[in-house]
Copies of this chain bind each other. A is one copy, B any other.
Amino acid sequence: MAVYTDVNEAQLSRFLQDYDVGSVLSYKGIAEGSENSNFLLHAERGSFILTLYEKRVDQSDLPFFLCLMQHLARRGVICPLPVQRRDGELIGELAGRPAAIITFLEGMWMRHPTVAQCGEVGRSLAQLHLAGADFPMHRANALAVEGWRLLWNGSRDRADEVSPGLAAEVEAEFTDIETRWPNDLPRGIIHADLFPDNVFFLGDRLSGLIDFYFACDDFYAYDVATCLNAWCFETDFSFNPAKAAALLTGYEAVRPLSDREKAALPLLARGSALRFMLTRLYDWLTIPDGASVQKRDPLEYVAKLRFHRDVTSPSTYGLS
């Protein structure tokens, strides 16, 4: 649920005078995204998403996110295109916050993705990686291994409240993952948060990738590992090898993985599971019950972490 800042019609009309989208017809706060205030805007020249960037987003990162969407859209990635103001800028100000308009993409996110849809996600992820290769801006991954430590420091003392023994298990994971984490895999722009709610479909056709607000520079294979976790487990936390094989086959049809990337997948998937477990754990322990931000179960990612820990060969994921 996400509308932290209300906007009145006079503010919005003034804001839109800098854009070439025509008059406002309507705008509705939408209950998606957890960091910013988002509105579905109907204007004379089409439908758009209006985003007001709230405090949790570092404003100095906004040009990176918006220029990246523009770059990717121009190279054929199906993602929202930021609308330029008449002066060429992508970012304006609305209700005292930085704000932007991006094109609205039709499509629905899949609560229960199919094998075919996992294949489409793999293919699109690889296209995104290739299309981003010549993007000139850079952004370090704030939630890379070092960032995980900071999150963990804020949760460790209470981790056993969520599951007895969790603190010791995670400590052991940290030691192992930090020691063995690769440093020389192919890298570039990654999405870093390509969960089902950020991918739209119309039937089995992928119609949009959204929410680039975690995008950064990191290993391509780490992005693949995050997708394995996000798309290839069932609601009972069991691994679905058919979905993983489809996702990886789709990816490799566009950008083949090197042998070193394949060999690193189990470790990267463990790391990615740890990263999402840590943000969920932190939210679980710090967000009050009944708040408007949805809390997700950290134990789902503990289960995925354990699964990958036992994987001895990338063939488990359907790779040859």
Interface residues of A (CB under 8 A from B): 1-3, 6, 8-10, 12, 23-32, 40, 42, 47, 104-112, 200-202, 288, 290-292
B290 and A26 contact, CB distance less than 8 A: no
Closest B residue to A106 using CB positions? B25
- Asked if A40 meets B30 with Cβ closer than 8 Å, knowing A25-B107, A112-B10, the reply is yes
Across-interface contacts of A3 in B (CB, < 8 A): 1, 31
CA distance A112 to B111 in the complex (A): 39
CA distance A47 to B106 in the complex (A): 12
**Besides A28-B30, A28-B31, A28-B40, 12 other A-B contacts (C-beta < 8 A):** A6-B111, A9-B108, A9-B110, A25-B106, A26-B106, A26-B108, A26-B200, A29-B30, A31-B31, A290-B291, A290-B292, A292-B292
A292 and B1 contact, CB distance less than 8 A: yes
CA distance A23 to B201 in the complex (A): 13
B26, B29, B107, B202: the one within 8 Å of A31 (CB): B29
B6, B10, B40, B112: the one within 8 Å of A40 (CB): B40
- Asked if A9 meets B290 with Cβ closer than 8 Å, knowing A29-B31, A31-B31, the reply is no
A8 and B107 contact, CB distance less than 8 A: no
Across-interface contacts of A106 in B (CB, < 8 A): 25-26, 42
